[in-house]
Amino acid sequence: MTVTRPYRGVSATERTRLRRESLIQGLLDVVLADGTLGVSVDKVCAKANLTKRYFYESFKDLDALFAAAADAMYDTLLTHMIEADRRAEGSERLRSLAADVIENLAADSRIARLYTESPAHPVLRQRRTAAIQSFAAYLNRISSGSDGIEPLDAARAYVVVAGATDLITGFLDGSIATTKDHVIRATADMAEAISR
């Protein structure tokens, strides 16, 4: 029987988790500096201050690392949306959700760049599409107050979330000349329109 002892008071499981998180943070640092196309295992390992051995213990390849970073980003956004929805009331609910997403993306320029470059990266684009579907389902639930969703309502929610995603992307990367407040208001107005 093999006994794994803590190292400096940290269990092997926790060390593995911390290394994995360091590699995700390293990826985000490289994305900010060089974009998604400039990412390499060597650069990520250098930013994370870890060897390639630890990289491949945590991730099969760069695609797996990109997927993990995207999943963490979208999970965090959805969690914040749910919390914002619980805090807000009445007509402020949808505005609060839109504001929360934009504030969270804009708060970390590394996350913002990962988000804005997602359409051009195959793995990130796949995760982005899944997130749009998930966010649209959530919008439908809070709009209808039910899990039973009509196909037309589902399509409307998808259009709203996909449109908001493109608008937010354009705002963050500077390709759409608008303000944060206009993005929030436009997104909330679109979402409110389908909830009527």
Q: What is the pLDDT of residue 139?
A: 87
Tell whether 88 and 49 lie within a shared domain: no
Tell whether 52 and 141 lie within a shared domain: no
Q: What is the pLDDT of residue 182?
A: 95
In tens, the pLDDT along 13-48 reads 888 899 999 999 999 999 999 999 999 999 999 999
Residue 108 forms part of a structural domain: yes
Residue 4 forms part of a structural domain: no
Say whether 18 sits in a helix, a strand or coil: helix
What is the residue range of 20's domain? 12-59
Q: What is the pLDDT of residue 40?
A: 98
Compute φ and ψ for 20, nearest 5 degrees.
Answer: -60, -45
Q: What is the pLDDT of residue 141?
A: 83
The low-confidence residues of the chain, meaning pLDDT below 70, are: 1-10, 90-91, 144-149, 195-196
Count of alpha carbons within 13 Å of 180, Cβ hemisphere only?
Answer: 11
Packing angle, helices 109-116 and 151-173, rounded to 10: 120
Tell whether 40 and 89 lie within a shared domain: no
The identity of residue 175, as a single letter, is: S
Q: What is the pLDDT of residue 15?
A: 87
Q: What is the pLDDT of residue 1?
A: 44
Q: What is the pLDDT of residue 71?
A: 97
Counting the structural domains of the chain, the total is 2
Tell whether 161 and 191 lie within a shared domain: yes
Q: What is the pLDDT of residue 2?
A: 45
The identity of residue 44, as a single letter, is: V
